[in-house]
């Protein structure tokens, strides 16, 4: 798997930090991974004042462990973040805390056990094959779009009874618009201003959110009327037992939105970045295609075993290190604490940045270079320096689902197709809620002989 050193693109790094107001302008305001100074990738803790908020960015894995595991009870999802995402995902699993969260997590957990996820491998394979059926030899596609349509089909087929309303181009656009508004809303929310109608992008995002929620509300109503036997029907029934009828309906809708969104956007971005990295490394792509072909052949007519894809798995892990689909997530301190010798007060925001942690100079050799070997070797790492799926009890409930899905889709695609760069196209990471290539990822696909 050894290949020449390859450093995929990342935004330029000024030597020192910019004043905080510079973050409110231009590319820095729009793109969460733009404008980080080289110093940030060398420090173990950053503390900033932002509009009266004290924000800590812990960059030592011990501090991440303290926030996410050892003293996790002291850290909740920030009130300001809940306010921002409430119109879209309400009080679903991702955006709630305490007893409410514990009960919901218990309800959904059964759907994400290893045997339950393995049983979905045929669904992942079908989505990959359905999508590739539309490709022509030598044609050029936006693989970000292709990946998103594929993971949308997967989430609709595996959790929502294959409902066609969740697979349309219109639904895809609504999600894009709603997410794009997310970064715009950040500023007025930080300033404590009402976010409603701040600008055209926000208004469009709010309209898209309402439309998406209306579609999902119709689905919940249908399950309540006894139509459909799927994840949504199951959580509606189980939540009814735990929370009562009225609350169960609200939470089923909030979780439908949570799982629809969190369950496909993130995996689509992981697939997109993996395809980009493969398209730039032809030799690696060919050797992984050999591994995938052998794994698929060994499984006969049955579902491919992802255990037979160790090199592809290492490549996916390296993809999520360099381009974590969720480049940041936040907590709010409920009481005082200390991180890396720095005092934390109740109300302080703890901003956890996989984007910075995964490229930190003290934690990784040659951090900006692609090297799947670091994962193939099962290297000597602190458990909390690599956290694409979060950590502790709030670890992504869909992590195994996402990894299995991405491996199965990639294995089937690279076995049949070769992915090639489009000359002259510049790939540029941009992130607000999730990290994606700006303007999509045009690639040329070539059928393998
Ligand atoms: C590559 C794909 C994915 C990545 C990188 C990812 C990343 C994350 C991260 C970082 C968190 C923790 C956020 C925090 O602690 O504040 C999270 C939580 C969550 N993810 Fe994922 N995710 C992925 C795929 C999925 C899938 C496929 C699903 C569902 C089918 C899903 C559903 C969720 C939910 C519901 C939570 C909240 C869990 C809780 O708080 O108990 N994610 N994800």
- Per-domain residue ranges for the chain? 20-447
Using the mean position of ligand 1's atoms as its centre, give its distance from the Cα of residue 91 in Å.
15
What separation in angstroms does the CA of 446 have from each of 34, 137, 421?
Answer: 33, 5, 11
Using the mean position of ligand 1's atoms as its centre, give its distance from the Cα of residue 263 in Å.
7
Task: Determine whether the shortest distance from the Cβ of 76 to ligand 1 is under 6 A.
Answer: no
In the chain, how many H helices and how many E strands? 17, 12
Residue with tokens 């919901």: 104
Using the mean position of ligand 1's atoms as its centre, give its distance from the Cα of residue 396 in Å.
4
Question: Of the residues 266, 274, 388, which should be mutated to test ligand 1's pocket, given the most ligand atoms within 8 Å of the CB?
Answer: 266
Q: Which pLDDT score is estimated for 187?
A: 57
C-beta neighbour count of 264 within 10 angstroms? 27
Strands 337-339 and 329-333: unpaired
State in words which class domain 20-447 has.
mainly alpha
Using the mean position of ligand 1's atoms as its centre, give its distance from the Cα of residue 397 in Å.
6
First-residue to last-residue Cα distance in the chain: 22
Q: Taking the chain (449 residues) in consecutive chunks of 10 residues, what is each chunk's mean pLDDT?
A: 82 80 72 90 94 93 98 95 88 94 94 96 97 96 97 97 94 87 61 59 88 95 93 94 93 96 94 98 98 96 95 98 96 98 97 97 97 85 96 97 98 98 95 90 96
- Total count of residues recorded for the chain: 449
Q: Which pLDDT score is estimated for 436?
A: 94
CA-nearest residue for atom 12, ligand 1, is 390
- Cα–Cα distance, 232 to 382 (Å, whole number): 37
Q: Which atom of ligand 1 is nearest to the CA of 391?
A: 15
Q: Which pLDDT score is estimated for 182?
A: 67
Degrees (nearest 5) of the Cα angle 418, 424, 429? 80
Q: Which pLDDT score is estimated for 394?
A: 96
Q: Which atom of ligand 1 is nearest to the CA of 406?
A: 1
Task: Determine whether the shortest distance from the Cβ of 258 to ligand 1 is under 6 A.
Answer: yes
Long-range contact set of residues 299-305: C-beta below 8 Å, sequence gap at least 24? 303/118, 303/121, 303/122, 303/125, 303/408, 304/121, 304/125, 304/408, 304/411, 304/412
| Residue 257 and residue 212 in contact, taking contact as beta carbons nearer than 8 Å | yes
- Cα–Cα distance, 441 to 435 (Å, whole number): 13
What separation in angstroms does the CA of 192 have from each of 52, 80, 187?
Answer: 11, 9, 9
Question: Of the residues 263, 268, 329, 398, which should be mutated to test ligand 1's pocket, given the most ligand atoms within 8 Å of the CB?
Answer: 398
CA-nearest residue for atom 18, ligand 1, is 396
Question: Of the residues 58, 88, 102, 262, which should be mutated to test ligand 1's pocket, given the most ligand atoms within 8 Å of the CB?
Answer: 262
Q: Where are the alpha helices (DSSP H) in 68-168?
A: 79-89, 98-109, 114-118, 121-132, 143-159
- Cα–Cα distance, 241 to 237 (Å, whole number): 7
């Amino acid at each position: 798997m050894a290949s020449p050193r390859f450093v995929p693109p990342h935004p330029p790094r000024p030597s020192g930090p910019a004043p905080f107001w510079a973050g409110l302008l231009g590319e820095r305001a729009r793109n969460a991974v733009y404008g980080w100074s080289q110093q940030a990738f060398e420090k173990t803790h950053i503390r900033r004042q932002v509009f009266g908020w004290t924000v800590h960015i812990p960059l030592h894995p011990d501090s991440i462990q303290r926030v996410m595991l050892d003293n996790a009870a002291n850290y909740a999802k920030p009130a300001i973040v809940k306010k921002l995402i409430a119109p879209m995902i309400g009080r679903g699993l991702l955006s709630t805390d305490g007893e409410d969260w514990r009960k919901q997590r218990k309800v959904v957990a059964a759907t994400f056990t290893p045997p339950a996820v393995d049983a979905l491998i045929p669904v992942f394979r079908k989505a990959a094959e359905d999508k590739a059926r539309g490709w022509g030899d030598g044609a050029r596609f936006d693989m970000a779009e292709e990946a998103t349509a594929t993971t949308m089909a997967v989430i609709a087929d595996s959790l929502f009874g294959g409902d066609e309303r969740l697979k349309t181009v219109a639904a895809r656009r609504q999600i894009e618009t709603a997410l794009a508004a997310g970064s715009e809303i950040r500023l007025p929310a930080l300033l404590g201003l009402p976010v409603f109608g701040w600008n055209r992008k926000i208004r469009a995002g709010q309209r898209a959110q309402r439309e998406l929620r209306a579609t999902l509300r119709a689905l919940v109503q249908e399950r309540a009327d006894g139509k459909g036997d799927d994840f949504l029907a199951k959580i509606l029934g189980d939540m009814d037992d735990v929370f009562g009828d009225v609350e169960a309906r609200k939470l089923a809708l909030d979780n439908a939105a949570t799982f629809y969104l969190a369950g496909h956007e993130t995996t689509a971005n992981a697939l997109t970045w993996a395809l980009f990295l493969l398209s730039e490394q032809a030799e690696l792509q060919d050797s992984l295609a050999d591994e995938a072909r052998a794994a698929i052949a060994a499984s006969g007519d049955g579902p491919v075993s992802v255990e037979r894809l160790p090199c592809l798995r290492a490549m996916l892990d390296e993809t999520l290190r360099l381009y974590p689909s969720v480049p940041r997530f936040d907590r709010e301190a409920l009481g005082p604490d200390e991180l890396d010798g720095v005092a934390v007060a109740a109300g302080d925001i703890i901003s956890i940045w996989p984007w910075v942690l995964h490229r930190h100079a003290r934690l990784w050799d040659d951090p900006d270079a692609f090297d799947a070997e670091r994962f193939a070797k099962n290297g000597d790492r602190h458990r909390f320096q690599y956290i694409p799926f979060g950590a502790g009890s709030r670890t992504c409930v869909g992590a195994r689902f996402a990894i299995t899905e991405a491996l199965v889709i990639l294995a089937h695609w690279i076995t049949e197709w070769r992915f090639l760069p489009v000359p002259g196209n510049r790939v540029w990471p941009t992130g607000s809620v999730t990290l994606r290539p700006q303007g999509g990822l045009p690639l040329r696909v070539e059928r393998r002989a």
